Amino acid sequence: MPVNGLLLTLTSDPALAETARQTISAHPGATLGEPQDRWQPLAVDTPDVKAAHEFHEWLESLSGVEQVDVIYVGFDESSLTDTAP
């Protein structure tokens, strides 16, 4: 299972930014960190790489999210051996 550490840049509109945070926090596997101004740290645990990519695209499409930066990607040992030839 990939674990992604992301840093979101949210809109400067406080109400829209809060709506984005609430929407994201309701998503399974998503854990919000402590926000700093417009920057919102986020960790997400997805079942596979495709789901991680789809989650990233979903974030980019949300109102209130201006930018999504990937700051960490980790894989557990079993996911690496499951895909080895």
Is the alpha carbon torsion for 36, 39, 58, 73 positive or negative? negative
For residue 55, how many other CB atoms are within 10 A of its CB? 23
* Per-position pLDDT tens, the chain of length 85: 668 789 999 999 999 999 999 999 999 999 999 999 999 999 999 888 899 899 999 999 999 999 999 887 676 655 444 554 5
Tokens for 26, please give them: 């309701």
Domain range list for the chain: 2-76
Given the candidates 3.40.50.720, 3.30.70.920, 2.40.50.110, 3.40.605.10, the CATH classification of the domain at 2-76 is 3.30.70.920
How much is the pTM? 0.79
User: For the stretch 9-44, what's the b/e string if a residue is b when 16 or more beta carbons lie within 10 angstroms of its beta carbon?
Assistant: ebeeeeeebebbbebbeeeeebeeeeeeeeebebbb
